[in-house]
Structure 1
Amino acid sequence: MRMKKLLCRIAIAFTLLFTTSVTFQMINNTNISHAAKNYYAKHNCTWYVFNKRAQVHKPIPNGWGNAKYWYTNAKRSGYRVGTKPAPKAILQSTAGYYGHVAYVETVYKNGSIKISEYNYNRALAYGTRTLSKSTASKYRYIY
């Protein structure tokens, strides 16, 4: 009977130890490299920005949904967010049914910015634009 209790305790201890370590790793995973697979719809703005951020080693997760939700979901995920453009940041807009995101390539001395994006002026196509300082100030940014 003692042996059975001992084996039972050992089994419980191993189970708790394994479960606790897996749970801790899952909760404490701040390296988002596991999001290497892009599940966003191909050639949409979210798909492009996900890939672009991975290229510059600033990955983002797959689960932020449509572009209009990215700012809120980024904030909830612990990303820094704000209203000032910065190189490698994500420009975000809630305008339109799905919203829009773009990648900030450059912030110029005069405050204008160059962005790259997909699916803005042409359906499912790549493009770049330069936005004036005043226009850039109307958007939100994820850093």
Structure 2
Amino acid sequence: MAASHKTLPSRRERRRRAVWARRGSLLMLTLLVSAMGAAVAVNGVNPAAYGAAEPFRVTRAAPIGTSRSMSRDPLSSANGLTGSGDWLADDGDGLDTDKLVGWQADNPVVMDLLNGRDKDSVPAGFDPDHATGDTDGNAYPFSECTWWAYVRRHQLGLPAGSYMGNGNQWADSARRLGYWVDSTPRQGDVMVFQSGQAGSSLIYGHVAIVEQVNEDGSIVTSECGAAYNGQPFSRTFPASEVGDYQYIHY
């Protein structure tokens, strides 16, 4: 039986196939880069992955206030507490946790945290006199989410560290410094996104600032990213999801 022979493609056909192979490889590379770019389109978050994002218009809002030099307002029965000086666990001021022994109540933000709903939810490791970590000013690259978080916190009179890491590292970095970190949002908090959360970078995560806590429990943020050239945007997160994030308060 005669052996069959496969006809080899001509030189012209080989060149044509090589051209199409290169074009196919280039197309696949382009699609891959586009997909990766969409995930980190604003270097920390892809707003399109979580509904519409609105431009955030920075206003000269009054600072929330954290100056440690401010004098303490007397505690009164109006806020459910009595006494003065240190907040001691045994001085009859209604605070029944040993975690509060020796704390100075000279900071309005700390007072707001400890009065009312938060007095029994003091995170382990919280130190009201903690170091802020703000050693070299805003050391984050311009327009990145971390850059904006630092800028906005200082506009609001709240601290932020110079080297807190990528967005997904901020909560742990803050805890190490002694910040109050929990899952309850308050105005001015740094909202920390883990990798991939709500359209954030699969590698770097993301951070935002809580601008408003609505009556229905939803929150409004201000955020930024490299693609926004320093122009922050805003999103609204429903109440059903706000507890999925970590928040750095003070």
Q: What TM-score comes out, normalization by structure 2 length?
A: 0.42
1:133 aligns with 2:239: yes
Name whichever structure is richer in helix by fraction: 1
CA 60–107 in structure 1, closer or farther in 2 if over 3 Å, else same: same
| Aligned residue in 2 for 1:72 | 172
Alpha-carbon distance in structure 2 between the residues aligned to 1:34 and 1:135: 30
- Check whether the contact 1:35–1:60 (CA below 8 A) recurs between aligned residues: no
Q: 2:211 aligns with which of 105, 109, 118?
A: 105
Structure 2 Cα separation of the partners of residues 97 and 34 of structure 1: 24
In structure 2, runs of 5+ residues without a counterpart are: 1-128, 196-201
- Computed over aligned residues only, the root mean square deviation of the Cα atoms, in angstroms, reads 2.1
The aligned length equals 114
Q: Which runs of 5+ in 1 are unaligned?
A: 1-28
Tell me if structure 2 keeps the 8 A contact 1:90–1:104: yes
Provide Cα deviations, 1:111-143, integer angstroms capped at 9, x if missing partner.
Answer: 0000000029x5545210011001212111110
Indicate which of 207, 221, 224 corresponds to 1:115.
221
Percent of pairs with identical residues = 32
Secondary structure in structure 2 of the residue aligned to 1:106: strand
1:57 aligns with 2:157: yes
Give secondary structure in 2 for the equivalent of 1:38. coil
- Check 1:31–1:55 CA distance in 2 against 1; reply closer, same or farther (3 A cut): farther
Q: TM-score, normalised by structure 1?
A: 0.72
CA shift, 1:91, in A, is 0.5
Separation in 2, partners of 1:68, 1:112: 22
Change in Cα spacing, 1:34 to 1:141, as seen in structure 2 (3 Å) is closer
Residue 81 of structure 1: which of 181, 184, 191 is its match? 181
Rounded Cα–Cα distance in structure 2 between residues aligned with 1:123 and 1:134: 28
CA distance in 2, matches of 1:89, 1:33: 16
Name the structure with the higher strand share: 1
Correspondence for 2:147:
47
Measure the CA separation in 1 of the matches of 2:154 and 2:133.
8
Runs of 4+ in 1 over 6 A off after TM superposition: none
